[in-house]
């Protein structure tokens, strides 16, 4: 089955291709099909993922899957949350991983509570009007470091410290991240539902 990924993020595509390898799926990005990005007007990961999946399915006339993920920090009331990818722009700064990380550290400076979690909502639909979307959710708890560590991954990975591993996410191998991450947790749930509900595999 060809499954349209409602994203143009190459690193996210690579992660999901690995995670979904056990099923007979061909993941193709919506950008490769000339489909523009959907609006993300909602305040929750699940609602935005559903919006993106429906948009991709409607435009491609094919099954689609969307990932909406980000970092939620307790001391900031859950921010950056659904605005994780463009957090710096809220403070008049450019949109980039480096600027997002820098702004996050600035916002956390007055706080001693550094707890947070990576969150991932995965939504898959067979069509734009699928009444039974598959919804999976993963959380990966950690603490925000005072300075970046590690060169792997993307986004906030260099700032997210996983105490049980004594490493930042950016210090992990790709294999370890694909085994332990919020996206991995959500993907395992999604694989099980695709097998059960969509009869794949």
Share of the chain above pLDDT 70, in %: 100
Catalytic residue among 67, 68, 97, 129: 68
Q: How far apart are CA 117 and CA 128, in angstroms?
A: 30
pLDDT tens-digit readout, 129-162: 999 999 999 999 999 999 999 999 899 999 999 9
DSSP assignment string, 12-34: HHHHHHHHTTTSS-EEEEGGGGT
The two structure tokens encoding residue 132: 């039974």
Checking DSSP bridges between strand 64-73 and strand 134-144, what pairing results, if any?
unpaired
Q: How far apart are CA 15 and CA 113, in angstroms?
A: 30
With contact defined as beta carbons under 8 Å apart, do 120 and 182 qualify?
yes
3-class DSSP state for residue 141? Answer: strand
Spell out the per-residue pLDDT of the chain, length 201, in tens. 999 999 888 878 888 898 899 999 999 999 999 999 998 999 999 999 999 999 999 999 999 999 999 999 999 999 999 999 999 999 999 999 999 999 999 999 999 999 999 999 999 999 999 999 999 999 999 999 999 999 998 999 999 999 999 999 999 998 999 899 999 999 999 999 999 999 997
For residue 97, indicate whether it is catalytic: no
What domains sit in the chain, N to C, each tagged with a CATH number? 2-197 (3.90.950.10)
Q: How far apart are CA 200 and CA 63, in angstroms?
A: 13
Q: How far apart are CA 54 and CA 130, in angstroms?
A: 8
| Prediction pTM value | 0.92
């Amino acid at each position: 089955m060809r499954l349209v990924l409602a994203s143009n993020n190459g690193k996210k595509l690579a992660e999901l291709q690995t995670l979904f390898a056990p099923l007979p799926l061909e993941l193709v990005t919506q950008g490769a099909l000339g489909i523009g990005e959907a609006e993300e007007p909602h305040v929750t990961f699940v609602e935005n993922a559903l919006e993106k999946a429906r948009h991709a399915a409607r435009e491609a006339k094919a099954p689609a899957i969307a990932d909406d993920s980000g970092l939620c920090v307790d001391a900031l009331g859950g921010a950056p949350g659904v605005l994780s990818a463009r957090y710096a722009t809220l403070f008049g700064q450019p949109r980039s991983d480096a600027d997002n990380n820098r702004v996050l550290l600035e916002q956390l400076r007055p706080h001693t509570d550094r707890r947070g979690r990576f969150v991932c909502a995965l939504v898959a639909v067979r069509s734009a009007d699928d009444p039974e979307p598959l919804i999976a959710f993963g959380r990966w708890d950690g603490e925000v470091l005072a300075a970046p560590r590690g060169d792997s991954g993307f986004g906030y990975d260099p700032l997210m410290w996983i105490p049980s591993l004594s490493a930042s996410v950016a210090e992990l191998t790709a294999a370890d991240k694909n085994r332990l991450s919020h996206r991995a947790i959500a993907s395992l749930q999604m694989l099980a539902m695709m097998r059960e509900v969509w009869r794949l595999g």
